[in-house]
Structures are given as C-alpha cells and as structure tokens.
Amino acid sequence: MPTLRIFLAEALGTAILILGGVGTAVFDADRAGVLGVAIAFGLSLLAAAYLIGPISGCHINPAITVAMVAVRKTDVRLLPVYLGGQVAGGLFGALLIWSIGQGKAGFTAMDQNGKPTIVSVSETGFASNGYGAHSPDHYNLAAVMLVEVVATAVFALIVLATTADGFPVAMGGLVAGVTLTLVHLMCIPVSNTSVNPARSLATAVFQHGWALDQLWAFIVFPLVGGLLAGIGWHALNRIRATVAETGGLAPNMPRL
C-alpha cells in the first residue's frame, strides 16, 4: 500500500537523521564541536534524501510536511501517515542511541537504589532542545521562539524550492542538507536546534526530565515556521507570476 510505504520510508529517514545528527551530538560533541554536529545533521539529511526521496519525498520533519500540505504538494489526508512515520522513526533512532550508550560507564544516570533509569546524563541532556537554563548559551524563551520560527521557515522555503518545477531533482538532497547544516550552525548556541518536532520529541523522551517540560516550544515553534513557509511560498508564486507576465523572468529560472 502507498501509505505503508510512505510511513516506513519516513520512519527510516527520520531514524537516520536522529542516528547521524543526534548520535554525533551525544557521543562526540566534545571532539566534533558545533561545526561537526551541524555537518552531521546535514549529511544525515543528505543521505536520507537520496535513499527515500523517491518514495515519500523525504520530509522526515513534521514542519516540512505542514509546509508541503500548505502549498498542496502533499495531500492533507496523508498528514497522519507522514507524522506517524516521523515520530516512530525518531523514537526508534533515539532508542538505538540510548542502547548504544549503555556500553559506556556513566552514560546513564542512576536512581537512589543504583538502578539504571532512562534519564540521560544531566550534563549532556541527551542532545535535547531547551530554553533559559537549558539553552546552550542560556537564551530566553523569546529568543528561542524567534530563532526556531525563522530558521524553520527559511529551511522549509528552501526545501519547497528544491521541489519546484525546473529544479534539478538530483540536487534537492544536497541543497537541503547544506541548508540544514547552516541552520544548525546558527541555532545550536540558542536552542540546540530543533526546527523539527520529531527530533525534539525523540530526545526529550529519553532525557525524561526538563526536556519534556519544555517540549511544547519545540513542537509549536517549528510548526508555525513550516506554516509561515507555506504562506510565504504562495506569496512568492504570485510575485513571480507577475514578473513573468511583465517579461521580467530571468531565462532558465525555475517556475514555482
């Protein structure tokens, strides 16, 4: 069934994103640094795009799916299929990271009886997103809201552009991956970079503390950004249509 293929493809792609991006942040943040983690997220998206792009379009992000639905590039009836696959894949990817981490002493916090819990070491937060005291550089909620909404909107607009008529299909994954790298370079100090509710949910569940309390922000803000990208895309279409009618459209420019 097409819906099952989409669900499984989105689950696989989101798991790859979590394993590659979050896995680098959890296991190797000290050596990789902000640049290394940002590149890891971008490369993970790039790999997933070429693997599952022909099947589902490789949204692997609820905010991207919302943007695609808003511009009618994805049937709204498929929204639960996409979101379900993304959430399932994100949680599975995080579970794999947590399971691998059990091979290192001290990776998991202990309760008063000395038994392992599913709470990640508080110093790392399991690469969860946060604001205030849990922002990497202690940015407040207003700053996190602004960066997440704007960064998600820009990222979603670029993804929409890669699916426009005339855009080289083979370049879509590369452009999206580079853009996600750029977004992470800017946002990691502020919010640890979400721009993806499935990514935030996956890590918050295993951090199992403050990240769950602040999770709402990293669901709402990226979704708002995705919706704004859809609105912006419609506006860009109208502008380009007007330019084309007046003969101002540059030769070979992709038509949206």
- Specify the pLDDT at position 91: 98
- Specify the pLDDT at position 100: 93
- Specify the pLDDT at position 248: 60
Cα(148)–Cα(188) distance, rounded to whole angstroms?
10
Architecture of domain 2-245: Up-down Bundle (1.20)
Cα(67)–Cα(152) distance, rounded to whole angstroms?
10
Select from 68, 77, 81, 74 the least CA-distant residue to 9.
81
> What's the pTM value of the predicted model, to 2 decimals?
0.90
Annotated domain spans of the chain: 2-245
- Specify the pLDDT at position 120: 42
- Specify the pLDDT at position 244: 65
Contact (Cβ atoms closer than 8 angstroms) between residue 148 and residue 194: yes
With a cut of 50, list the residues of the chain below it in pLDDT.
Answer: 110-112, 118-122
- Specify the pLDDT at position 122: 47
- Specify the pLDDT at position 230: 95
